Structures are given as structure tokens and as C-alpha cells.
Amino acid sequence: MNPLDALVEQPVEWLRVSGPESDIVVSSRLRLARNLFGVPFLQKLENEQKVEVIETVEKAIRRSPRMKDAHYLKRAQLSELDLQFLLERHLISREHVEEKGEKAVAITSNEVVSLMVLEEDHLRLQAFQAGFSLMDTWRIINQIDDDLEKNLNYSFSASLGYLTACPTNVGTGLRASCMLHLPGLVLTKQVHKVLQALAKLNLTARGLYGEGTQATGNFFQFSNQTTLGQNEDEIIDNLAAVIRQVIEHEKEARRYLVEKKRVKFQDQVWRALGTLRSAHVISSTEATQLLSLVQLGLQLEILKGALTKQELNLLFLLIQPAHLQKLSRKALSAPERDIRRAELIRQKFQKISL
């Protein structure tokens, strides 16, 4: 049996547990880019060399106390659907899905840590935590990085730091990011101002699924742009300081909606719920947008009901194309998915009174 199938109906741990400020910060993520010393960067790798890298990394993982029980899945074991499924769970990147040729991914059973092998760099190590937990996440990823480094020889320059395929990652190889849920700033039309300010601070905002996806809807992934010339603490502190400000703006926007725009806001939340309860055809974009409004309504007690945060978080995952197909145990075309998605959502919302 495909080890991924067992994961379908449970949310990744960082969606299951609650973290600091988790009404606004969905998750914190750190990623380290590493390359093996003496092995060309991915672009120049022959197929056999790729296989060697995958095996070298596997050995290191099996010797690493915190990664030794991880699933290690190679390209041949992963269907297109599996790759899409892992992307929807943020365990791999869109680049890793699209990268041709040999590749692999290691995933710890709680899905807190994943290691992409042969994405843009030889290794892309990621760790997630629920809520606004960058320092916790840093401790986790740093320990695993140290573990792996005992068994892997990384490309490192005393003057530049870790060497990476793309110059923006040279140095620490660290990208720190937080996934923010900012419906308040979107509804009060302030989000563009926030995104413009970010750009000036050398931070970027992306959509739900990382690089190359637009920051549409109410979810935004904020991360540092470059890593050279800053140490890890500086990168994290810098991002955290900005996120803290964005959290305050979002809280203020939410207060404004509840206090000053209550009638209209209530109408928007209830209409979203009404559509989710009634639609017979719905895209994942629309469903995500409407679920976001319902989540905000629950958080601000415009809606009160038996729907837990965990159930709602799971639903955000289950409505994604690959999850929907895994759940249905068959391939579904896009129009079939839109019908199945609407059915699933109606079922979930019929059970609960709000």
C-alpha cells in the first residue's frame, strides 16, 4: 500500500495542533538549502549521479536519530497524483513536482519535517510548526541539519557560507516563512499596502502553494528574499518583526469589521456559508475563499457552531484536487472534482448547525 494513502484524512500536524497567534498565522516554516561537496549542481547532473545523490542522502537519513524512521519516497514510487498530494500538504514544492528526472523526498511520520532531494539544490530540508513559531521551528530544523551534516559533506565556503544553485540562497541557505491568513486586510482592502511595504523590506509574499503561485485569496506566505550577509537569527528576527506588525494590522482590520462594518461583514460570512452548504459545483479557489470567510466568522463569533478549527483546517486540505482524488480512490477530471468537492463540503456542513 502507498504510505501516503494513510495520511489523506488527517491534517498535517501543524494544522492539527494550535500554535501562537494561530487565528492569523497558520504555520511557520523554515527551509535550508544544502548541496553535496564535490557533486555538480542539479542542472549539470547526469542520471547516475542523481541516483547516487539519492542513495547518499538515504544513508545519512537512516543514521540521523530524528529522521531515521521517515518515509523515503523515490520518483519511481510516486505517481503524479502522489506528487500533487505532497504539494497540497506543503511537503514538497511546485518545482519539485515539476522537476524531471530522478528525485526523492523524505517525510517524518508527523509531517513536521520533509527533505526534498534534487529539487533546485541537492537537499532542501523543511520544518513546519503550527502558528507563529519561527524559533521553535528553527530549533527543529537546526538539529536535523546538524544530524545530517555528520554524515554528509556539504558545499561550504568560509567567506560565502553554504553554496547553492541560486545565488539568492547562498549564505545560510535559509528561507524563513509564515503562512498568514489575512481576510481582515483583504476585506478592508488594505492588503496591497501591506504587500507594497513588504517588498521594500526585502520580503516576498506568495500564495498558498509557494513560488510562482499568486498571492490571491486570503492566504499569504511571507518569507525572506535573500540569505547572504545575514545570519540565521537575523533572518528570523527580521521576518518575525514584520510578521508581528502584520498581525497587529490584521487584528485591527478584524476589529473594524466586527465593530464598524458588522452588518455587511455578517452578510458576507453567512453568504459564504450558504454557498458552501448549497453549491453543487465548486472550484478549489472559490471553496478556499468561502471557507476562509467561514473560518473568520467562527474566529470572530459571527458564527457559532460545532465545527472545530481542526475539522475546518482538514477541509481546506481535502478540497484540493489530489486529496479529493485520494479520498475518492479514483482519478477525477476537473469537472468531476468540482462536483465531488461541492458534495464533500455539503456533507461536512450539513452535519453541523451553525
**Contacts with its own copies, residue ranges (CB under 8 A):** 263-264, 266-267, 270-271, 273-282, 335, 339, 342
- The residue (of 176 and 302) whose beta carbon lies closer to its own copies is 302
- Least Å distance, CB 349 to its own copies, is 10
- The residue (of 143 and 266) whose beta carbon lies closer to its own copies is 266
C-alpha closest to that of 5 among 57, 71, 62 = 71
Q: State whether residue 128 is helix, strand or coil.
A: strand
- How many helices (H) and strands (E) are present in the chain, helices listed first? 13, 10
- Least Å distance, CB 200 to its own copies, is 38
CA–CA separation, 135 and 237 (whole Å): 9
Q: How many alpha carbons lie under 13 Å from residue 6 in its C-beta half-sphere?
A: 7
Question: How far from each other are the two terminal CA atoms of the chain, in whole angstroms?
Answer: 38
65 CB contacts (<8 Å, ≥6 apart)?
Answer: 147
DSSP-assigned states of every residue in 28-46: EEEEEEE-BTTS--GGG--
- Least Å distance, CB 326 to its own copies, is 23
- The residue (of 90 and 340) whose beta carbon lies closer to its own copies is 340
- The residue (of 249 and 341) whose beta carbon lies closer to its own copies is 341
- The residue (of 116 and 290) whose beta carbon lies closer to its own copies is 290
- Least Å distance, CB 21 to its own copies, is 29
DSSP 8-state code for residue 184: H
Q: Where are the alpha helices (DSSP H) in 208-283?
A: 232-260, 262-278
- Least Å distance, CB 267 to its own copies, is 4
3-state DSSP percent of the chain in helix, strand and coil, to 5: 50, 15, 35
Q: State whether residue 338 is helix, strand or coil.
A: helix
- Least Å distance, CB 339 to its own copies, is 6
- The residue (of 231 and 278) whose beta carbon lies closer to its own copies is 278
CA distances from 194 to 134, 185, 211 (A): 20, 9, 19
- Least Å distance, CB 276 to its own copies, is 8
- The residue (of 87 and 287) whose beta carbon lies closer to its own copies is 287
